A and B are shown apart, each in its own frame.
Chain A
């Protein structure tokens, strides 16, 4: 089986390095960073942290070098999905392309360029330490499910390979539950951290702010319900759990880190995604719309 990871940042590297442990899997990586690609080709792709792994991965910045692949795993930041898949689509003419990205709308973007798409949501996390070397911070599950006409059998093959490689993955008929659970969690907490500068725990201990978080969660749940999506867990409970001192009280949301570094955020695919799906179903989402506009305003302020 040949699998290509498209976007070999922290999360993409976790998949690539672990899958490369399997004798029956050949792993390729497409990434925009030449130093990262060179390091991977010279010394392998190294993970350290909660797992110590070195994977033999063939990396390239040139999509034309990619051979035909059975599976793609797209792990770019969501705003780069379109560019990444339009460059690499030829490699998946007979294959399946899975997304393990944040947010809403990635499957639809992929489906504009390739025939067979797999929906995915992943919870492991890490960060790039240096070219070719990724810190693996958190282990976690991945859930895959068919998008459109993709057969469940193909989804199972990918999930099986990930699980055997050390990235536990499930294949389910409807993967929207975990996806929306994660999106609602992120959309209801990340931008609040980004707008205020507060960590997750400090957001949750302010009653007025926690009420705003709940208002955002309620809108997300209503949009999910209008599509017949059954969440696999209550985002409210996950939010309270994460606020505990021993869990993620001091965690700075990735969007806050983006704002502090003046990098474009994923708000279009989180709150913006909830707003778009809400409009399609006639579900009002005024708070998500407000938060979306405010974060877009923050991004616009960097052009001043």
Chain B
């Protein structure tokens, strides 16, 4: 039984692979990857997700802009967690203002990533 369906958005393929392996094998989530805002939008139009993991620094359309496009598709209730290398308090505060459920710092510990994510998501999922 899947712990939940996740949409993982990051422009780095290697990071997607590592994160996916961690989330699927360690955390038991089922993960759909997207390498750009466009792919993320396409995936969100296709299927519903329980949560979104979203990279901040992406070329062309960055994380916050991607969130803006995703939000109408996924609805207001689906939690979005940012993945970012910028972890200054000010950066985190700014991301939370955008309606993020939380922020996970890069580089992350793959063995701890599912737990970290679970801690940020509401109990319902």
* A joins B in a complex: no
Residues of A at the B interface (CB closer than 8 Å) are none
Residues of B at the A interface (CB closer than 8 Å) are none
